Chains A and B, each alone.
Chain A
Amino acid sequence: MSRLLRVSDMKVHFPVGKKGFLGRPANYLKAVDGVSFDIERGETLGLVGESGSGKTTLGRAILRAIEPTSGEIVYEQDGNSIDIMGLSRSGLRDIWRNMQMIFQDPYASLNPRMTVRDIISEPLLANKLAKGKDLSKQVVEMAELCGLNAGHLSRFPHAFSGGQRQRIAIARALILHPEFIVCDEAVSALDVSIQAQILNLLKDLQAKLSLTYLFIAHDLAAVAYACDRVVVMYLGQIVEIASTEKLYYSPRHPYTEALMSAIPEANPEQVMQPVFLTGERPSPTNPPDGCRFHTRCQYATDVCRTLMPVLGEISDGHMVSCHHADKLTLKGALQHGSGAKSA
């Protein structure tokens, strides 16, 4: 696999509070604070963390839909490395053909006054890439690929259920044949049976169109199913990156342990034994010194309170940001027992 995207030391800080001397903001909300990782071509990379951990901001900042404060984003296209941070507005528009986004709420992300045909064809028209018969053919093809039929195209979004709306949003995102899709909680608002349809659809499309996904979600079971590798964020920083299997069953960061052990497994014979976090999540405007997690970490020592750990590789492809990673034995998610009979 080759690299598709590299993010280095990205920061997204939002000014908060009253402006003080010389019009400087009183403080900054550090939504993303020094994040570096790679996305490989063709993979699905999960991005998890509690609400407020900065995962949505990071997803948008990669596309520069939110302007990062600093950092580097390098996109590999046909052997050329493109520096996304250095692009002008028109350069960005070109690169956005390759990078698209699917949002959480399919009720809010579609214009209620446009027909499905108009919604799906808009990106093609806006980029002047097709018209007339060719446009219509492309739209029908993409709609069918996403599980809609030609009869749906002349209807308006209100006539569709949540699952079908999400199919429309996916067709719109894919009509320009992008390589990279940011799925921001794309299945979170859907019912169980529909969520399975959309997860399956995303998987099929990935295989057919060789897509790369950044899959942002808080549902850890869905992430486990959908992703090859997973990034865990806490208070704007990455605490761990590993293959899904390693991250879920042998986490190396205490925060990942708390997340994984809290997954309610759909098996009444396996009672979860969560590792509880003490205290409340600190505010991202005023993060703690040292390791950001130390205020809630049961393994924290003096060094954690003063020195910020760096994300380092602990075994092949497994990165963790913890001073004690090599000494701790942590609990992962429940392994599937023999008691469960799958239906």
Chain B
Amino acid sequence: MKKGVLLEVQDLHITLDFDGDDIPVVQGIDFELSAGKVLALVGESGCGKSITSQSLLRLLPREVRISSGEINFRPTEDQSPIDIVPLNKDGIEIRSIRGNQMSMIFQEPMSSFSPIHKIGDQIGEVIQLHLKVTRAEARTRVIDLLDKVGIPDPKQAVEQYPHSFSGGMRQRAMIAKSLACNPSVLIADEPTTALDVTIQAQILEIMRKLKDELGMAMIFITHDLGVVAQIADEVAIMYMGRIVEKGPVTEIFNNPQHPYTVSLLSAIPRLGDLSDRRQLTSIRGSVPSLFERPTGCAFHPRCDSFMPGRCDTDIPSSLQISPIHEVHCFLHEDAKKEISS
């Protein structure tokens, strides 16, 4: 693994077992995550971003499985990486990583807490499970954590039940829970989607602080390009189970190369366009279902630059258009060939 990299995903394939047929959900994705960086996985519903994130902790539903690939993880640079893929999904190895060295925040904080246990006990449980501490020590740590994520009066909050927390407070408690054992990698699956814009801003601020102060690495899953622009260092755009474009956030927003990325960026309403009120550029059609995956490049039926006989037959391979910017599209492959010939 390269220097600084904590998590490395290589050629990951995930399939859905549907009446004995293996339906591909994720088809060979690669990415790396370095300490202190935020990688955003971006895409519309059905692109496989949530499934990818769940596979990292082996939390996939029963009928979905990793069919091939590697997920190499090391909690710190000094340790040797472990491949998560061959581990038993209920075994001791993955359980000692899950919630401890790598943890996850979900979109719906209400369903992530048990309604019949106190917030403090639920977070304390995680600490006691992974670290050798007493109940009292765990409790002190919970109070610290709740304080860190900005919950007012944390001493009283530990005694409360989830129902008495508002949506924003619950999401903060969820973050506190995921931080309980100082994970080196945090996976956040649409953590702000269900929240109001003012609360969203607060949560983003907390997450940015965690990154800066604790050097935590994060995978941030979202469809909101505004949030991506504000929090991510690296961006991977996904479409139907493949990464179509990947690069640093400024590069993706200022110099998008894949037709899908270009259309996504022009499809979002932007405040700056208030005066000219142009039509939004929409992408025609919609994301096909998993069972009707187009041949070749999955985006070709919706693409304005579609080249018949090429995009609908072959799958574009990864193309490094600059040392930091990767795109999967024949437009660029052909352009490159012309230059070299």
> Does A pair with B?
yes
- A residues whose Cβ falls under 8 Å from a Cβ of B: 50-51, 161-164, 191-197, 199-200, 203, 218, 220-222, 224-226, 244-245, 248-249, 258-259, 261-272, 274, 276-277, 279-281, 333-337, 339-343
Main secondary structure of the interface of A (DSSP, over half): loop
Q: A248-B274, A263-B226, A272-B230 are in contact. Are A200 and B197 (CB under 8 A)?
A: no
B264 within 8 A of A: yes
B83 within 8 A of A: no
Interface string of B39-61 (1 = CB under 8 A from A): 00000110000000000000000
Question: Distance in Å from the Cβ of A201 to the closest Cβ of chain B?
Answer: 9
A281 contact set on B, CB distance < 8 A? 166
Q: Across the interface, do B223 and A191 meet the contact criterion of CB distance under 8 Å?
A: yes
A-B contact count (CB 8 A): 157
A248 contact set on B, CB distance < 8 A? 271, 274
Q: Across the interface, do B226 and A196 meet the contact criterion of CB distance under 8 Å?
A: no
Interface string of B275-293 (1 = CB under 8 A from A): 1010111111011000000
Question: What 9 additional pairs, Cβ within 8 angstroms, besides A264-B200, A264-B224, A343-B256?
Answer: A161-B286, A224-B271, A265-B229, A266-B226, A274-B201, A274-B205, A336-B271, A336-B272, A343-B265
In the complex, A341→B255 CA distance in Å? 8
B169 within 8 A of A: yes
Stretch at the interface among B116-124, B178-186, B246-254: B246-254
Q: Across the interface, do A263 and B271 meet the contact criterion of CB distance under 8 Å?
A: yes
Interface string of B200-235 (1 = CB under 8 A from A): 111011000000000000000001111111101000
Size band of the interface chain B makes with A: 35 or more
B167 contact set on A, CB distance < 8 A? 51
B269 within 8 A of A: yes
* 22 A-B contact pairs sorted by A residue (CB < 8 Å): A192-B44, A192-B225, A193-B283, A196-B269, A196-B281, A196-B282, A199-B269, A200-B279, A203-B279, A221-B226, A221-B268, A225-B270, A265-B230, A265-B271, A266-B225, A266-B229, A267-B270, A274-B198, A276-B198, A277-B198, A340-B254, A341-B254
Q: Across the interface, do B262 and A50 meet the contact criterion of CB distance under 8 Å?
A: no
A276 contact set on B, CB distance < 8 A? 198, 201-202, 205
A226 contact set on B, CB distance < 8 A? 269
Q: Which of A224, A262, A279, A336 contacts B197 (CB 8 A)?
A: A262
Q: A224-B269, A262-B201 are in contact. Are A268 and B280 (CB under 8 A)?
A: no
Q: Across the interface, do B269 and A279 meet the contact criterion of CB distance under 8 Å?
A: no
Q: Which of A225, A261, A270 contacts B280 (CB 8 A)?
A: A225
In the complex, A213→B225 CA distance in Å? 26
Q: Across the interface, do B265 and A51 meet the contact criterion of CB distance under 8 Å?
A: no
